[in-house]
Chain A
Amino acid sequence: MQDPVFYQFSITTTLLLLVGFYGLTFLFSTLAAKKSDSVDGYMVSNGAVGFGIAAASMTATWIWAASFYGAASSGYKYGLSGAMHYGFWGALMILFIYPYGQRFRELAPRARTLAEVMHARHGSSSQLILAVSNLVGSVISLMVNFTAAGALVSVLTPLSFQTGVLIAGVGVLSYTLWSGFRASILTDFAQVVAMMVVAIVLIPWIYFSMGGSDALSQGFNILTAEQADFFSTKAILEQGAPFFVAVLAYGIGNQTIAQRIFAVRQDLIKSSFITATLGYGSIVIGLGMLGMMALFMGMTPHDGDLNNLIPQVASTYLPPFAIGMLFILVIGSLSSTADSDLSALSAIVMTDIYAKNLAKGKIDNKKMLLLGRITMVIATILGLILASFSLDILVMLVFVGALWGSLVFPVIASCYWDRVTNKAFLSAVLGGLTLFCLVRFELIPLVGIWAASMEVIAAVGGGTVIGLMCYGFSNRKAALFIGTIVGLICAYYFQNFLRDYTVLLGSLIAYGASTMICTAISLANKERFDFSLIHERIQHFD
Chain B
Amino acid sequence: MLSLYILIWPVISAVVLFVIVRAFFKDMAEAKREDRSIV
> With the chains together, A189 CA to B28 CA distance in Å?
12
> With the chains together, A331 CA to B12 CA distance in Å?
22
Interfacial chain A residues near B30, Cβ < 8 Å:
50
7 residue pairs of the A-B complex, CB under 8 angstroms, read: A51-B20, A52-B23, A52-B24, A182-B37, A199-B9, A204-B10, A292-B6
Please tell me which one of the listed residues A56, A80, A204 contacts residue B20 in the complex, with CB atoms under 8 A apart.
A56
Q: Are B9 and A203 in contact (CB under 8 A)?
A: yes
Within 8 A of B (CB), among A159-203: 182, 185-186, 189, 192-193, 196-197, 199-201, 203
Q: Are B38 and A217 in contact (CB under 8 A)?
A: no
Q: A-contacting residues of B (Cβ < 8 Å)?
A: 2-3, 5-7, 9-10, 12-17, 19-27, 30, 37-39
Please tell me which one of the listed residues B2, B3, B17, B27 contacts residue A50 in the complex, with CB atoms under 8 A apart.
B27
Least CB distance, B3 to chain A, in whole angstroms = 5
Contact status of A186 and B20, CB under 8 A, knowing A51-B27, A199-B13, A203-B7: no
Majority secondary structure, A binding face: helix
> With the chains together, A189 CA to B9 CA distance in Å?
20
Contact status of A282 and B16, CB under 8 A, knowing A32-B37, A182-B39, A204-B7: yes
Contact status of A278 and B39, CB under 8 A, knowing A50-B27, A217-B2: no
Least CB distance, A193 to chain B, in whole angstroms = 6
Q: Tell whether A275 is near chain B: CB-to-CB under 8 Å.
A: yes
Q: Tell whether A289 is near chain B: CB-to-CB under 8 Å.
A: yes
Q: Shortest 9 CB-CB distances between A and B: which pairs?
A: A52-B23, A286-B9, A52-B24, A50-B27, A282-B12, A282-B13, A279-B16, A196-B17, A182-B39
Interfacial chain B residues near A200, Cβ < 8 Å:
10, 13-14, 17
> With the chains together, A327 CA to B27 CA distance in Å?
30
Q: Are B38 and A53 in contact (CB under 8 A)?
A: yes
Q: Which residue of A lies closest to B31 (CB)?
A: A50
> With the chains together, A45 CA to B31 CA distance in Å?
14
Contact status of A186 and B10, CB under 8 A, knowing A52-B22, A53-B24, A193-B21: no
0/1 interface trace, chain A 270-296, chain B, CB 8 Å (1 if under) = 000001001101110110010011000
Please tell me which one of the listed residues B2, B6, B10, B38 contacts residue A199 in the complex, with CB atoms under 8 A apart.
B10
Q: B-contacting residues of A (Cβ < 8 Å)?
A: 31-32, 34, 45-46, 49-53, 55-56, 59, 80, 182, 185-186, 189, 192-193, 196-197, 199-201, 203-204, 207, 212-213, 216-217, 275, 278-279, 281-283, 285-286, 289, 292-293
Least CB distance, A341 to chain B, in whole angstroms = 18
> With the chains together, A283 CA to B22 CA distance in Å?
19
> With the chains together, A51 CA to B21 CA distance in Å?
10
Find the residue from B13, B14, B19, B21 having the highest chain A CB count within 10 A.
Answer: B13
Q: Are A34 and B37 in contact (CB under 8 A)?
A: yes
> With the chains together, A501 CA to B17 CA distance in Å?
40
Interfacial chain A residues near B23, Cβ < 8 Å:
50-52, 55
Q: Are B39 and A56 in contact (CB under 8 A)?
A: no
Least CB distance, B29 to chain A, in whole angstroms = 11
Least CB distance, B36 to chain A, in whole angstroms = 8
Q: Are B7 and A52 in contact (CB under 8 A)?
A: no
9 further A-B pairs in the complex, CB-CB below 8 A; given A56-B20, A196-B17:
A50-B24, A51-B20, A52-B22, A55-B16, A182-B37, A199-B10, A203-B10, A275-B19, A282-B12
Q: Are B27 and A53 in contact (CB under 8 A)?
A: yes
Please tell me which one of the listed residues A31, A201, A203, A282 contacts residue B6 in the complex, with CB atoms under 8 A apart.
A203
Contact status of A56 and B13, CB under 8 A, knowing A46-B39, A203-B6: no
